[in-house]
Amino acid sequence: MEALHEADNLGDHFGGQNAFVGLIVSSDLYDEIAHEPRYEGLYGKARALKVDLITLEDLRWPKLVEAMGRPLESP
């Protein structure tokens, strides 16, 4: 959660209007057996702060490029 706040602060202080703030998370955030997020609070806080969580599953190049291109598509 601390890293999430730091990522948000970096965007606020150094990012422009179309800045992309992403946090790469190396832990598995989804419980495949229970079919639910493991850290639901982290997802909600990231959404509220407009920080994209990039998990190991999303770290493949096409998904990473897609995530980085999203802010450019919407004003």
Task: Give residue 23's domain range.
Answer: 2-73
This prediction's pTM? 0.60
Q: Please say whether the beta carbons of 37 and 43 come within 8 A.
A: yes
Which of the four pLDDT bands, split at 50, 70 and 90, describes residue 67?
Answer: low
Q: Name the E strands within 1-75.
A: 22-25, 30-31, 36-37, 52-55
If phi > 0 it is left, if psi is from -120 to 50 it is alpha, else beta; for residue 50 that is left
Q: How many domains does the chain have?
A: 1
- Rounded percentage of the chain residues whose pLDDT exceeds 90: 0
Kindly tell me if the per-residue pLDDT of 72 is higher than 60: no
**CB of 23 within 8 A of CB of 53?**
yes
- Residue 64: is its pLDDT beyond 50? yes
